[in-house]
Amino acid sequence: MALGARLRELRVGRTSRGLAAVLGWPQSKVSKLETGRQTATADDLRAWAVATGHPEAADELVARLDGLESHVRSWRRQLAAGHRPVQDALTVEYERSAVLRAWEDAMVVGMLQTADYARHVFQAYADLHQSVRDIDDAVRARLRRQELMYQPGRMFHIVMWEAVLHTRICPPSVLGAQLDRLAGVIGLDTVRLGIVPFGARHTARQRVLAVR
């Protein structure tokens, strides 16, 4: 998505349809690359840089792609032993933190997931990455981490987009129970939960991209 944001910056002043025509691509490809739904190849990035009048950006774009591919390889190595070890490692980080902040625009934040909802999430990722299917163990590890929300002295600031409340990553009955769960945490002293509605006004501001 960060790479897509950079591609949009380079396209300023040119329509996606016009750029697609210059490149000889379907317009849908331009859209998918800019929204992170498709990963560009190095040749795609070089062609994009030239077509948008920024040939000097080609090396930068390819370097970003190399970093992305390295991150994906690292993630797959972590998943080689299954999803539970990843959850256990996250729990260690959470345990040593007093204040945590989370933003999610696609699905409910893990700290607030029900067991059934989490099971569908892990199932989807196991299918995507063809990883070890230790789904039940991963769910149990995630639920144990949620016990931190009931420990005094901690604070969780969680913000999610309204789309999260509608995303069908699970059957309607599971989603319904998940929404009840969200309502149930509103009164916790350790949780501040915010939902950004679909109709929220967007304010243009400078985008800062950080490499972490």
pTM (global) more than 0.85: no
Q: How far is CA 85 from CA 15, 77, 176, in A?
A: 45, 11, 29
CA distance linking residue 199 with residue 122, whole number of Å: 30
> Burial, 20: exposed, middle or buried (Cβ in 10 Å; 0-12, 13-18, 19+)?
middle
pLDDT tens string, the chain, 212 residues long: the values are: 888 999 999 999 899 999 999 999 999 999 999 998 888 999 999 999 999 999 999 999 999 888 877 777 777 777 788 899 989 989 999 999 999 999 999 999 999 999 999 999 999 989 888 888 899 999 999 999 999 999 999 999 999 999 999 999 999 999 999 999 999 999 899 999 999 999 988 775 544 433 33
Whole-number pLDDT of residue 210: 39
